[in-house]
Amino acid sequence: MEDAKHFINNRWVAPSVNETIPVVDPSDGQIFAMIARGTAADIDRAVAAARTAFDGAWGQTSAAERGRILARLSMLIATCHEEIAQLEARDTGKPLKQARADATGIARYFEFYAGAADKLHGETLPYQTGFTVLTIREPHGVTGHIVPWNYPLQIFGRSVGAALATGNACVVKPAEDACLSLLRIAELAAEAGLPEGALNIVTGYGHEAGAALARHPGIDHISFTGSPATGAAVTKMAADNHVPVTLELGGKSPQIVFADADFDAALPVLVAAIVQNAGQTCSAGSRVLIERLSQAFSALKVGPSALDLDCGPLISAKQRRVWDFLSDAQHDSIPMAEHGEVISDAPESGFYQAPTLLRDVPPTHRLAREEVFGPVSPPCRSMTKPTAQTRQQHGLRPRRRHLNARWRAANAACASRALGAGVHQ
């Protein structure tokens, strides 16, 4: 893998402008690599390469052969599992056990889509005598993929993997904060036999390379994972070219534990759901309706990714926006129930935030309504004796001991609707 270059047409390509972006290790705040600062010209080159592949070798490849290539890629990723995991851990700051799980996940994604490649069928529809009515599934063509920094491997696997399996040629713009693992995957894809131009990666800033990709007239479909605000901007850019967009945005996922639950069994799951990846997960369990979390939070340890503790650092200094939420909590006299510990020998230059458990967060407060994207859990008031008001706010029902009532409660509190959280539908 070469520093400060894009991956286009199965080879490393120098950027159109000789400018770079430093890659910072979140564990110590130190620069350890450089990536190219992509421009609209680089996106043009990648889209042209993808179009040539789609109109040529890749577009003429059979579904069965596409599956074989993706299966080989899956096996190559599995072979390089530890290398990829180490790269992901250093780039994102997540503990090694989480990075290893992500490396396992992307291998499984490509294995799954390899098997699905030749099993996507159209339908024939009954109609009037003398007519044949059918549907045919076809690839979009050239697809653009804007991948976030919190789970580069996993999002790439399920977005790009599906697109390649169905015959699309892909242009990927990964997040500038974490993209090294994806560049390595692109190398492996070429080794697996993916034709030139079928997969292209342009690094750079979102407002430059990302925006150029979203508004490019040569793109036939856009996949975006990120914040609701940026997702809205991407949708507007794509709309100018009448290009469909698939969005995966933020969330405010609830965790509901009823009074007759096994609390000892539930607690580790509840804690892991908010501290995994330092809380930087769109499906993080960031709204909790339960008591007895304090002891579990006080035992959490935070440190460099290589130490493989409970929680690693935030991705970058920009992500210290988490502190704004905690500052609001202090300003509004919301008590802190407990917090974890950043180990004493963690580098001071790292981007660490101790997991924090708040108490008595009003349902109308921004902590209960907005995505913190950090290891902060703002439990709503206890469900032990719910009032009519709390039932209405959290979608609870009086018959909460019945399974169907619990399904209704969970449905009413789902991340896509509850408390105004903005996520994909």
Catalytic residues: 248, 282
Q: Angle at CA 280, nearest 5°, toward 383 and 170?
A: 130
Cα–chain center distance at 351? 20
Question: Whole-angstrom Cα distance, residue 150 to residue 86?
Answer: 15
Sheet holding 336-339, edge to edge: 336-339, 356-358, 376-377
Cβ atoms 177, 316 nearer than 8 A: yes
